Amino acid sequence: MNLTAELAAIKDEIRAYAIDYGLDFFETIFELVDYDEVNAFAAYGGFPTRFPHWRFGMEYEELSKSYSWGLSKIYEMVINNDPCYAYLMKSNAMVDQKLVIAHVYGHSDFFKNNLFFSKTNRKMMDVMANHAIRVQRYIDRFGHEVVEDFIDCCLSIENLIDPHSVFRTSPESSEQNGAATNEHPVERFRFRSDKEYMEQYINPPEVLKKQQESWAKEQESKMRVPAEPQRDVLAFLLDHAPLQNWQYDILSIIRDEAYYFAPQGQTKIMNEGWATYWHSKMMTSKILSDSEIIDYADHHSGTVATSPGQLNPYKLGVELFKDIEERWDKGRFGKEYEECDDYREKANWDKQLGLGRQKIFEVRAMYNDVMFIDAFLTPEFVMEQKLFAYEYDAGSGYYHISDREFQVIKQKLLFSLTNWGQPFIFVEDKNYLNRGELYLKHRHEGIDLNINEAQDTLHNLQKLWSRPVNLETVIGGKKSLLTFDGSEHTVKELDKAEPVKAE
């Protein structure tokens, strides 16, 4: 910590307010840095060290350029770690520093208490530094190009993880070793009949044969690896891909970091909303001096500004939290309120419950963005906030507003948040066609993949798997199989004649 005496005093003051309000945070360490350092930290996702990779350089270049052209500037940055680390920019005015400090305590409280962060490593600072050293060692040993190329491939599939897997306690491999397996296959399906002459009516031989065949098929699929479709493709590759030791290590580094960052993607709206809620609460009711009001209002409105094409997570989050607080203060929830038809009565509904504060603390602990929107987005809120759905119009080449209907908007919003708006991909088979080919399946939910990009991704995946890789998806309504065999891409329409059981 290198704060000036003045800043240190302010920090202590704000910290005391935060505790008064009931925030429960990791001890937070503030570092005073200049713009160049803040850009470097930001490029590294907030960390002082990351493994060497051009992607961070790219981020840094973009940040520095946009900073030096005055296009953007980083306000706050804080990392989920115990203790929390946060950065204050030297050149910021005092009122900005206050805002950032208050905001950061909001984040720190969220990190500590939100369920979805509960499985993240709180010593990630150290872990990241270790990762950097390990990767650097491989670079020294095997050469920059080789290692970097491999990292590029890994990053291409870094999103193929299963964020819920961290909450599963028992390993999936608890196979039921049913005694049934010993039974003679034909006997399994034969109905018992005492009368021999009835035998061929009760158990027609062709039906028995069919049943037997389908049973055999089922058994075969049980032999398949993975037994169940597996969403954590990275874990699957770690277990089954022919990787060298260093490659194994790098892939597991990428996977660890992906899991560390996953909750931040899952709770972006809530997290920013929560922090914004608290900075505005503390700033306006406790911290600000009269002379700072204007500057504060200016910067705060910048934080929550909206532009037509973009949802501002700060804005949406803070407004929803405020809405929830008001609803629970006034008792605007539950059966009675829902069933009330009188618009005027609803508008003046106030049962003076005062449960708002308690409710938002509960929400910040138990919800993620998808659940948050699903549970608390109301038609009134959508109207008040002027939310709309947009679609792409191939004719004009523009995105345009398509709908202001509550259900449509909610659906779209939820879709864009589920799995970070990314497609669900599962590993189905590691020995497809009995030729050691990898078989992935895209769970199509109405929206096609970007096919060119998917093929490039398969290309990278193939480098890890070394045998051909396949992806089943739907293109323009037709079930298709993308294949890359190491030298050539093919797209094949999958046979419609196949039994429907695949669905």
- Smallest gap from residue 395 Cβ to another protein (A): 11
Give the number of other CB atoms < 10 A from CB of residue 26: 19
Q: Look-up: residue for tokens 């193939």?
A: 462
Query: Is 130 one of the binding residues for another protein (CB under 8 A)?
Result: no
Among 181, 407, 422, 466, binds another protein (CB under 8 A): 422
Query: Is 304 one of the binding residues for another protein (CB under 8 A)?
Result: no
User: Binding to another protein (CB under 8 A): which residues in 26-45?
Assistant: 36-37, 40, 43-44
Query: Is 389 one of the binding residues for another protein (CB under 8 A)?
Result: yes
Structure tokens at 183: 């039974």
Among 417, 438, 464, 469, binds another protein (CB under 8 A): 417
Instruction: Give the span between the Cα atoms of 264 and 116, in whole angstroms.
Output: 9
Among 369, 428, 437, 472, binds another protein (CB under 8 A): 369
Instruction: Give the span between the Cα atoms of 286 and 20, in whole angstroms.
Output: 11
User: Binding to another protein (CB under 8 A): which residues in 60-119?
Assistant: 60-62, 65
- Smallest gap from residue 15 Cβ to another protein (A): 26
Among 412, 443, 467, 489, binds another protein (CB under 8 A): 412
Instruction: Give the span between the Cα atoms of 416 and 410, in whole angstroms.
Output: 10
Structure tokens at 491: 């797209």
Query: Is 374 one of the binding residues for another protein (CB under 8 A)?
Result: no
Number of residues that bind another protein (CB under 8 A): 84
Query: Is 302 one of the binding residues for another protein (CB under 8 A)?
Result: no
Q: Which is nearer to another protein, 127 or 311 (CB)?
A: 311
Instruction: Give the span between the Cα atoms of 364 and 444, in whole angstroms.
Output: 31
Query: Is 121 one of the binding residues for another protein (CB under 8 A)?
Result: no
Query: Is 320 one of the binding residues for another protein (CB under 8 A)?
Result: no
- Give me the sign of the Cα torsion angle 360, 266, 225, 472: positive
Query: Is 457 one of the binding residues for another protein (CB under 8 A)?
Result: yes
Query: Is 269 one of the binding residues for another protein (CB under 8 A)?
Result: yes
- Smallest gap from residue 48 Cβ to another protein (A): 6
Among 454, 464, 469, 481, binds another protein (CB under 8 A): 454
Instruction: Give the span between the Cα atoms of 397 and 314, in whole angstroms.
Output: 29
Query: Is 310 one of the binding residues for another protein (CB under 8 A)?
Result: yes
DSSP states along 6-30: HHHHHHHHHHHHHHHTT-----EEE
Where does this chain touch another protein (CB under 8 A) — which range of 122-130, 341-349, 445-453, 485-493? Answer: 445-453
Q: Which is nearer to another protein, 74 or 353 (CB)?
A: 74
Q: How far does Cα 62 stand from its chain's mean position?
A: 24
Query: Is 409 one of the binding residues for another protein (CB under 8 A)?
Result: yes
DSSP states along 260-277: HHHHHHHTHHHHHHHHHH
233 exposure class (CB count in 10 Å sphere: 0-12, 13-18, 19+): buried
Instruction: Give the span between the Cα atoms of 285 and 303, in whole angstroms.
Output: 19
Q: Which is nearer to another protein, 29 or 355 (CB)?
A: 29
Cα–Cα separations (whole angstroms), residue 204 to 183, 196, 197, 250: 20, 13, 12, 58
Where does this chain touch another protein (CB under 8 A) — which range of 50-58, 117-125, 284-292, 354-362? Answer: 50-58
Q: Which amino acid is at 27?
A: E
52: closest CA among 113, 117, 137, 111?
137
Instruction: Give the span between the Cα atoms of 142 and 246, in whole angstroms.
Output: 9
Residues 150-179 as x/- pattern, contact with another protein by CB under 8 A: --x--xxxxxx-------------------
Strand partners, 28: 84
Q: How far does Cα 293 stand from its chain's mean position?
A: 36
Q: Which is nearer to another protein, 430 or 442 (CB)?
A: 442
Among 82, 249, 292, 448, binds another protein (CB under 8 A): 448
Backbone angles phi and psi of 110, in degrees to 5 = -65, -45
Q: Look-up: residue for tokens 């998917």?
A: 454
Where does this chain touch another protein (CB under 8 A) — which range of 73-81, 123-131, 212-220, 447-455? Answer: 447-455
Query: Is 385 one of the binding residues for another protein (CB under 8 A)?
Result: yes
Strand partners, 284: none
Query: Is 328 one of the binding residues for another protein (CB under 8 A)?
Result: no
Q: Which is nearer to another protein, 154 or 360 (CB)?
A: 154
Among 214, 450, 466, 490, binds another protein (CB under 8 A): 450
Where does this chain touch another protein (CB under 8 A) — which range of 20-28, 308-316, 347-355, 486-494? Answer: 308-316
